[in-house]
């Protein structure tokens, strides 16, 4: 656990820094997802909102502020959704921010691995975007805002195959987790990424984890195939254990499903019955309905703690106006579009 955001002292400080209005326990909270590797392909689009996650985040922080929302640590949103934190301990209108995959551009500006990219020299890290916003509005922002939860891939071997250029390092995780502006969490050991084309042995077991019941040890971009305790142990517990070794004494106790795929076995059996092993407090999917301001895409007290939804940049919105629609739909005055949740793993057959 990170003592900054996960103790009663943090909650007390939030209460002391708040005004009168607070989040309703029947409210809806949007949790936003960005990938720092989402970049323009040519130099003429380096400042494009729709093509550059860094530009989008910078703009979105302004939009969030202008719409009267406050970015809070995602862990607090999970606590509220589960019922461990009352809405009275949070601002009335809150947003969560998450990053996935642990690309170096999450933390490092103009990393040299990007030297050949047409936007090289213009790439502030997502960390710098957060810090610049915090500096600009330091007089009015609460001490804890803005804040991002970063879900990283645990296996060093998997990361080296997913990005042979070495731009998924773990050398910055310790600093990030201690920064007060970002925390590091678990995004599985191997992401079941299709860049992994041969098995490898690491931490006393074989990867990709999904091959353990199938025998096909290569990534297929299908996290739905994690359907046994040993596969879950490998891809979730061993990953958390490795990550936590980098951020000790914290434990990576939030999990984000690769591709947003929520295997029923993991959600309903492994997470529910083996907490003493994985020690995962909550887990996050992506859109659970059509991308955009649909009711199942907001985190609520009715949400499953092991499938809390997120809205993804470029999928759920790709313009400031699109984000405003998402924020408006989080308010009671403008309810989101009704819709049924979709199980993205429904019908998946292990082979």
Contacts 24+ apart (CB under 8 A), 135-143: 137/65, 142/14, 142/17, 142/18, 142/70, 142/91, 143/13, 143/17
Where are the alpha helices (H) located in the chain, listed in sequence order? 8-17, 53-66, 74-82, 126-136, 156-162, 173-177, 211-214, 229-232, 238-247, 264-265, 271-273, 275-278, 320-329
pLDDT of residue 214: 86
Residue 246 CA, chain-centre distance (Å), reads 18
Domains of the chain: 8-329 (3.20.20.370)
Fill in the DSSP letter of residue 336: P
Which are the contacts of 273, defined by CB distance < 8 A and separation ≥ 6?
A: none
SS3 annotation, 271-303: HHHCHHHHCCCEEECCCCCCCCCEHHHCECCCC
Residue 55 CA, chain-centre distance (Å), reads 18
pLDDT of residue 287: 95
pLDDT of residue 7: 52
**Residues in the chain, how many?**
351
pLDDT of residue 18: 45
pLDDT of residue 351: 52
pLDDT tens over the chain, length 351 residues: 565 555 544 554 444 444 458 999 999 999 999 999 988 777 778 889 999 999 999 999 999 999 999 999 999 999 999 999 999 999 999 999 999 999 999 999 977 677 777 777 777 899 999 999 999 999 999 999 999 999 999 999 999 999 998 899 999 999 999 999 999 999 999 999 999 999 999 999 999 999 998 899 999 999 999 999 999 999 999 999 999 999 999 999 999 999 999 999 999 999 999 999 999 999 999 999 999 999 999 999 999 999 999 999 999 999 999 999 999 999 877 789 998 888 888 877 665
pLDDT of residue 251: 98
| Pairing verdict, β 282-284 and 31-34 | unpaired
């Amino acid at each position: 656990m990170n003592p900054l955001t996960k103790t009663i002292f943090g909650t007390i400080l939030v209460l002391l820094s708040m005004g009168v209005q607070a989040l309703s326990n029947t409210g809806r909270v949007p949790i936003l997802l960005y990938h720092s590797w989402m970049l323009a392909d040519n130099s003429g689009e380096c400042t494009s909102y729709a093509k550059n996650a860094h530009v989008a985040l910078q703009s979105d922080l302004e939009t969030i502020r202008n719409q009267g929302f406050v970015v809070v640590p995602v862990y607090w949103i999970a606590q509220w959704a589960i019922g461990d934190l009352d809405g009275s301990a949070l601002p009335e209108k809150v947003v969560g921010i998450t990053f996935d995959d642990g690309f170096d551009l999450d933390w490092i500006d103009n990393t040299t691995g990007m030297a050949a990219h047409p936007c090289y020299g213009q790439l502030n890290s997502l960390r710098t975007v957060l810090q610049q916003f915090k500096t600009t509005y330091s007089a009015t922002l609460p001490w804890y805002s803005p804040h991002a939860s970063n879900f990283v891939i645990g296996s060093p071997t998997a990361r080296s195959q997913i990005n042979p250029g070495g731009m998924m390092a773990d050398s910055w995780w310790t600093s990030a987790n201690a920064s007060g502006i970002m925390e590091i969490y678990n995004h599985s050991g191997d992401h079941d990424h299709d860049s992994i084309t041969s098995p490898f042995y690491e931490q006393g077991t074989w990867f990709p984890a999904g091959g353990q019941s199938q025998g096909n040890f290569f990534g297929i971009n299908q996290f739905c195939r994690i359907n046994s305790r040993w596969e879950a142990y490998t891809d979730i517990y061993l990953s958390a254990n490795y990550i936590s070794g980098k951020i000790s004494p914290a434990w990576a106790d939030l999990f984000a499903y690769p591709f947003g795929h929520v295997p029923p076995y993991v959600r309903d059996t492994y997470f529910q019955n083996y907490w003493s092993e994985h020690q995962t407090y909550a887990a996050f999917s992506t859109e659970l309905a059509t991308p955009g301001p649909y009711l199942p895409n907001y985190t609520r007290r009715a949400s499953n703690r092991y499938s809390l939804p997120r809205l993804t940049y470029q999928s759920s919105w790709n313009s400031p106006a699109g984000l405003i629609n998402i924020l408006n739909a989080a308010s009671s005055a403008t309810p989101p579009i009704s819709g049924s949740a979709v199980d993205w793993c429904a019908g998946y057959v292990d082979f």
